[in-house]
Structure 1
Amino acid sequence: MDRIKDVILTSCLILCPVIGVLWALNVPQMFGMGLVTQQVVAIMLGIAVCAGLLSHPYFKRYIWIDVIIAIIAAFCWFWYAWNFREWMVTMAFRTPDMWIPGAIALVSLAEGLRKTMGLIIAALVWVIAAYGFFGDMVPGMLQASVFAPTRTIMYLYADSNGVPGLVITVIVTLVLPFMVFGKVLEIANGMTFFNNLALSAVGHRRGGPAKVAIVASGFFGTMSGSTVANIMSTGIFTIPMMIRTGMTRVQAAAIEAVASNGGQIAPPIMGATAFIMAEMLQVPYSDIVKAATIPAILYFLTLFFKVDALATANGLQGLGRSEIPSFRETLKGGWEILISIGVLLYLLFATGFNPGLCALISSGMMLVVYAIKIRFKFDVPVLISAMISLGRELAPLLLIGGAAGVIIGLMNSTGFAFQLSLALTHMASAYGIFALLLLSALVAIILGMGMPTAAVYIVLVTVVAPTMIELGVAPMAAHMFLLYFGLMSMVTPPIAIGSIVAARLAEANMWSTGFLGLRIGIVAYVLPFVWAFNPALLLDGSMLEVAIVASNALAGSYLLKLSMLPSPIIGVPSWLYGKLIMVLGLAVMSATAIFGSASIAAVAATIAAILLAMIISKQTSQIRQKASTET
């Protein structure tokens, strides 16, 4: 029976992405199959629930019980797909043959989520579900409008505002194709190519391996769409290299976690979340890329500065020339990867194709060129393993997408979303817009713990973004704000899943890694507040306003670098010096938000920061020269 369970589980993991890819390529329509997206979503969700339930069985001795439960759960989702057309007309009758399978399907979804993603996120779904059924008993302003139980079940099970709604549809049609692109990139040795490319570019510089981690993780992360997957792909190369050349284990883990996390805010792909944002905002994809450019540059530039400071403080050097691959040989060995990425960008920006289709076309091209390169001598077990791995990554994402549909559906149907927006509006009226932004950031970080970026972004923009926009935050700024804070939950203690994974790879302390990651990635916690008050940071303003805010941020980021160095001032301890300079750096970075987008005070802050940086750098250089002479 164990063998049957393994066969069913493996089949589910392979079938799930295959069905999604066939749907994205319009294959069913080519054969005259009159399917709609909700039917395909339900089929894939049924397969994902089956895989989730079988991945962690209840009864190891009586495995057949788990197999039966998983098959029944999958059948309940298939039942909706089979009856979709008829139910669209008869939904209001809510007969037992409709709502009983619906109830089983929803319970199995929550249980599959618990088994694959843990208790916390499943508990959130159960709490929201309880509110959806019994919220009319809650006193005060949070009292809910509750429907009849059978109506609530059918609303969640079969309505486009429930589980088979926007979130999971976006995962199937947009996120999955880019996951395929990332997997093909792995098959074509893309990670090795990016690592070698980064080594040849910055490996010889001070603290070279750490800078390699930044470049390689940024390249790969923009396409992988998963902080953990990025860490596992790049970290196995970069973390040991950083430790071997002098970085502490904690430093190596923190650098890799923050660098890998930043890939999803780096244009042009942004881990596929940019396409979701474009759809939510109803703007061209190019507008999202343009808005994300300056913050992404500042994120990685500040990280680069801080890594250089750590390398200086540790007295590190770059790698020897013998350890650095040739730039020309690296390009020669991976030219098909660059061409495929170029084709992807051309299709995205120069054609009207669906972004998911663009990703699949580019994936197919990369795979074909790679096949010709290796003379079609594929390692079949490796290909099968890659497909199973893709299914293992996709199935939990589908379960989370379904859970997000439950949360969003109940928030809307019970009126909770409106009541929450009203409460946030009252709070902002009483305490100011900054208090609302601070609370929104905390909510984003808490909800983001353990959830993929795309899922938490959609939940947050549904609940929080309307209030932010109503109170004067620009729509693009509000969406980017929530994206950043949802993403930063991956490296923010106490959960900090990205930091935990990196710490395990480095055999470092989880807590030390998390707090150091928070410090070296601090710019990502500050910049969203800046553009909420001054959207010029997102290129929404005059050239003068953009130039001032960019100068502020750049000068502030350099002061943040200096805060990581030992104190050059006699009598001032390094810990106090570091905190003072860090506060000054953050203040300069926030100058336009504090004083205005084109104020004289903001310009003066930049000039003062530059002068201070020059004085500190000169003092530090003199101390080093003196120490070198004495040695």
Structure 2
Amino acid sequence: MAVERMREPAFGVPAGLWKPVAAVLAAAITLSAMLWSLDVPRMLGVSYYPQQFLAVVLALTLPLTFMIYTPGRDKRSGAMPWYDAIGAVLSAAASAYIAWNYPAVVNQIFMRPIEAWLPGIILLLLLLEGLRRSTGWMLVIIIVAFLLYAMFGNFVPGRLAGRPQDWQKLAGYMAYDVNGIFGLSISVGATIVVAFIFFGALLGATGGARFFTDAALFSMGRYRGGSMKIAVAASALFGSISGSAVANVVATGVVTIPMIKRDKYPAHKAGAIEAVASTGGQLMPPVMGAAAFLMAEFLQVSYADVALAALIPALLYYGALFIQADLDAAKLGIKSAPEEDIPNGWAILGGLHFLIAFALLIYALFWMNWQPEKAAFLACGSVVVTGAIFGYDRVRASVRALSATIIEAGEAVVEIIVISAAAGIVIGVMNMTGLSFNLTYALVQLGGGSAIVLLVMSAIVCIILGMGLPTLAVYVLLASLVAPALVEVGLPPMAAHLFVLYFGMMSMITPPIALAAFAAASIAKADPIKTGIASCKFGWIAFVIPFMFAYSPSLLMIGDTTSVIWALVTAAFGVWLVSSALAGYFTARLSIIMRIVFAIAGVLALIPTDAFTGAVYTDAAGLVAGIAAMAYAYVGGKKLMEQAAS
């Protein structure tokens, strides 16, 4: 029997009162991030701790979880009950109190004054409830488990035993220490993420999002399997801005999935290709998901370094997806998109001004070495100016529409900021108890010092921990729990963090809990598990790439130019061969034997030259065998076409 959601009382704070307040709070989140990122307080001679700014942002954000979400996790539309109003006021008061008293209390937290632990206790409890409302129970359970470990870690047997902390010290530490709630995670969420979400909202308001979808239609629609290629291209473009696989599926899938199904493509495969394409958007430079910005902070490198390292793996990811889409379309006889669905080229030219924003963003990030949030707001300014002057498809954004994006962006980041604040609890517990060192030691010991064993174990742990969790939460957990162990056995830090990011992302398409695949299945009206299984097949390369760059840092552009080019060429060729084997098609249908030959040659080509002594010979063997197999399949396919024509 279905469980009925808890009904809220009909009385309370009327929607006409709380909705304007929520709009003001949401707008204040965006505006405060903008002022901070542009360094306006310093220009005005105002000085304060960064943690005070972050506490103010949480004072604006946390009340919104009680306003816009019901206890049953639905979006609220009616009156707000009295108990939610109290929750909203208390969460704002606790955060504001910490912001105001931070300089006086921060150096006294280990003395356990009431000014530290009381607001800390209130904030922790309300943060957990806000987290539950916005993301569900899973992340709350994980956070509570970490808090219990912090207090009773001495009862854990073996190497994972921790230093126990009393609850007063724990609450004060989480509320005031730079490694607690107001630490690195929320700093990224409250500045960089807000800036890029605002950028995406402005693109939506000015027609930029529609321009990129139309551009994908125009560029890919005339080729076989055009609808699938449109989904891949549009999702890659939009996903690199949205930073959320599920949001990407919902935003682009409502257009692309029905288009693919109209071409007689199976519903579960239509959902699968959209889910995989949407998930990869968070791995595609120049604008990756929020986790990439946090990675730069963890590694103490510029975001440009992270984007450059992620470029080749992302190109291989989407290359494999494009090849499979093309070959599947050829095998199933799926033609190009209908001519009436393809936009006019002259109309597309009218939206090219949106590329100025991306050019400015890339220039500011890679050449000017600006902070990501500052570069994003520069791009926002470009979108506002060109969108107001030129518009797109005879539509120019009004002042009201542009103003609404300030509120829209603030509401969109509520979940991310709350997750970021909660992630600070995990980092705080790791620092207080020594869990990070203990877990790293335990993983390395279990792996027996073998890099490949540890990589496989880590991949499994990453997928399991990632199930049902949002992207940012997945990365923070994995970067804290798994990445240090990989660095310990010799992986470059960049490779270790990208490894856990990739496998954390794969939880989005891996059953039994595959959020992106399930979202796509609901749009496609397909079976969720079948969609998840098909997603794993389409996204096979994402399970392989991390092992490749773990053994061949050349794929992360680490090393000399010759090594990087060789790694890229052999990897791309291997991707082509294995994709053909999985699709069962090259220039014609492949027999079982030929599929096996293609797969073996592809795997040999994919093995990094640094994997073991003599691996360069496996690359060479894969290239020779692959070229021979392709030539044989091409000649055989040509003969079949001639026979069919005669």
User: Normalising by the residue count of structure 2, what TM-score does the alignment of the two structures yield?
Assistant: 0.90
347, 368, 375: which is aligned to 1:358? 375
* Aligned equivalent of 1:421: 440
Residue 400 (structure 1) shift: 0.7
Matches within 5 A, 1:94-113: 94-113=112-131
Alignment of 1:112-261 (within 5 A): 112-261=130-279
Aligned counterparts of 1:335 and 1:302: Cα–Cα separation in 2: 28
For residue 595 of structure 1, report the CA deviation from its aligned partner.
4.4
How much does 1:527 deviate? 1.1
**Structure 1 pair 155–628 and aligned structure 2 pair: CA distance change class (3 A):** farther
Q: Which amino acid aligns with 1:178?
A: F
> 2:396 and 2:230 mapped to 1: Cα distance?
31
| Offset, 1:185 | 1.1
Residue 267 (str. 1) matches residue 279 (str. 2): no
2:84 corresponds to 1:73: no
Structure with the higher fraction of residues in helix conformation: 1
Moved more, 360-369 or 157-166: 360-369
User: Does residue 14 in structure 1 map to residue 14 in structure 2?
Assistant: no
- Counterpart code for 1:206: R
**Maintained 8 Å contact 1:48/1:395:** yes
Kept in 2, the 8 Å contact 1:181–1:362? The answer is yes
Hey, what does 1:516 align to over in structure 2? 534
2:420 aligns with one of 366, 384, 401: 401
Q: How far apart are residue 307 of structure 1 and its match?
A: 0.4
* Aligned 8 A contact 2:221 2:336 in 1: yes
| Equivalent-residue separation in structure 1 for 2:395 and 2:328 (angstroms) | 46
Give 1:514-553 correspondences, 5 Å limit.
514-553=532-571
Does the CA-based 8 Å contact 1:310-1:564 persist in structure 2?
A: no
Instruction: Give the corresponding residue for 2:363.
Output: 346
Tell me by how many angstroms 1:35 deviates: 3.0
Equivalent residue number for residue 480 of structure 2: 462
Give the Cα–Cα distance (whole angstroms) in 1 for the partners of residues 207 and 397 of structure 2. Answer: 13
Deviations 1:521-566 (A, max 9, x none): 1111101101111212222234443343323322221122322444
How far apart, in 1, do the equivalents of 2:579 and 2:497 lie? 29
Q: Determine the C-alpha separation between the residues in 1 that align with 2:291 and 2:189.
A: 10
- Partner amino acid for 1:347? A
Equivalent residues of 1:560, 1:581 under 8 A apart: yes
Asked if the contact 1:544–1:598 (Cα under 8 Å) also holds between the matched residues in 2, the reply is no
Match of 1:42? 55
> 1:317 corresponds to which residue?
335
Name the CA distance, whole Å, in 1 between partners of 2:501 and 2:470.
11
Check the 8 A contact 2:275/2:509 in 1, yes or no. Answer: yes
Deviation at 1:514, TM superposition (A): 1.0
Indicate the larger mover: 354-363 or 140-149: 140-149
Given that 2:312 and 2:556 are in contact with CA atoms closer than 8 Å, whether structure 1 keeps it comes out as yes
| 2:206–2:397 Cα contact (<8 Å) kept | no
Query: Shift of residue 622 of structure 1?
Result: 3.3
- Residue 206 of structure 1 deviates from its aligned partner by 0.4
Pick which of 48-57 and 368-377 moved more.
368-377
Q: Show CA shifts across 1:300-336 (max 9, x none).
A: 11100000111112111112444322334302x2122
Contact persistence 1:453–1:487 (CA under 8 A): yes
Q: Could you list the runs of 5+ residues in structure 2 that have no partner in the other structure?
A: 1-12, 73-77
User: Partner residue of 2:75?
Assistant: none
Measured in 2, the distance between the counterparts of 1:583 and 1:602 equals 11
Question: Cα RMSD (Å) of the superposition?
Answer: 2.7
Once structures 1 and 2 are overlaid, which stretch shifts more, 360-369 or 281-290?
281-290
| Offset of residue 272 of structure 1 | 4.8
Encode CA deviations 1:465-486: one digit per residue, 9 max, x unaligned: 2221221112221122122112
Residue 605 of structure 1: which of 618, 622, 630 is its match? Answer: 622
State the 1:578 CA deviation.
5.4
Matched-pair contact (CA < 8 Å) for 1:545–1:598: no
What is the correspondence of 1:453-602 to structure 2 with a 5 Å cutoff? 453-566=471-584, 581-582=598-599, 585-590=602-607, 592=609, 594-596=611-613, 599-602=616-619
* Cα pair distance change 1:384/1:514, threshold 3 Å: farther
- Residue 262 of structure 1 and its aligned partner are, at CA, apart by 1.2
2:39 is aligned to 26
What is aligned with 1:2? 14
Aligned length in residues:
626
Moved more, 124-133 or 275-284: 275-284
- d(CA) in 2 for partners of 1:613, 1:93: 72
Question: What secondary structure sits across from 2:427 in the alignment?
Answer: helix
CA distance in 2, matches of 1:527, 1:571: 27
Structure 2 CA distance for aligned equivalents of residues 497 and 368 of structure 1? 37
Tell me which of 302, 315, 318 is aligned to 1:297. Answer: 315
Distance 1:543 1:365, change over 3 A: closer
Would the aligned equivalents of 2:327 and 2:585 in 1 still touch at CA under 8 Å? Answer: no
Change (3 A) 1:70 1:387: same
Contact 1:596–1:602 (8 Å) recurs in 2: no
Offset of residue 98 of structure 1: 2.5
Instruction: Please say if 1:57 is aligned against 2:70.
Output: yes
Report the Cα distance in structure 1 between the residues aligned to 2:227 and 2:347, rounded to whole angstroms: 19
Contact 1:191 1:234 in 2 (8 A): no
CA distance in 2, matches of 1:569, 1:236: 32
1:273 and 1:130, CA in 2 relative to 1: closer, same or farther beyond 3 A? closer
Q: Contact (CA 8 Å) 2:200, 2:241: kept in 1 or not?
A: yes
Specify whether residues 243 and 49 from structure 1 end up closer, same or farther in structure 2 by C-alpha distance, changes over 3 A only: same
Identical positions, percent? 35
Contact 2:268 / 2:524 at 8 angstroms: preserved in 1?
A: yes
Provide the rounded CA distance (Å) in 2 between the counterparts of 1:571 and 1:92: 70
Contact 2:423-2:473 at 8 Å conserved across structures: yes
Whether 2:123 is the aligned partner of 1:84: answer no
Distance 1:485 1:225 in 2: 16
Partner Cα separation in structure 1 for residue 106 and residue 588 of structure 2: 77
CA distance in 2, matches of 1:159, 1:540: 36
| Residues 287/383 of structure 1: CA separation in 2 closer, same or farther (3 Å cut) | closer
Q: Give the conservation status (yes or no) of the 8 Å contact 1:73–1:108.
A: yes
Matched to 1:22, the amino acid is L
1:135–1:306 Cα change, 3 Å: same
Deviation of the 1:603 alpha carbon: 1.3
Is this contact kept in 2: 1:526–1:586, CA < 8 A? no
What is the alpha-carbon distance in structure 2 between the residues aligned to residue 454 and residue 491 of structure 1? 16
Paired residue type of 2:380: S
DSSP-derived class of the 2:222 partner: coil
One-letter code aligned to 2:106: M
Scaled by the length of structure 1, the TM-score of the pair is 0.92
2:431 aligns with 412
Tell me how far apart the structure 2 counterparts of residues 93 and 290 of structure 1 sit (CA, whole Å).
Answer: 46
| 1:103–1:200 CA distance, 2 compared to 1 (3 A) | same
Deviations 1:227-271 (A, max 9, x none): 122222222221121112232221221111111111222222223
Give 1:73 shift.
1.9
| Cα distance change of structure 1 residues 567 and 601 upon mapping to structure 2, 3 Å threshold | closer
Q: 1:551 to 1:7 in 2, by over 3 A?
A: same
Counterpart amino acid of 1:9?
A
1:592 and 1:22 mapped to 2: Cα distance?
Answer: 49
- Name which of structure 1's ranges 310-319 and 33-42 shifts more when overlaid on structure 2: 33-42
CA–CA separation in structure 1 for the residues paired with 2:230 and 2:24? 38
C-alpha contact (below 8 Å) 2:508/2:516 kept by paired residues? yes
Is the contact between residue 202 and residue 212 of structure 1 (CA under 8 Å) also seen in structure 2? yes
> Match of 2:526, SS?
coil
SS of the residue aligned with 1:527? helix
Contact conserved, 2:303 with 2:372, CA < 8 A, in 1? no
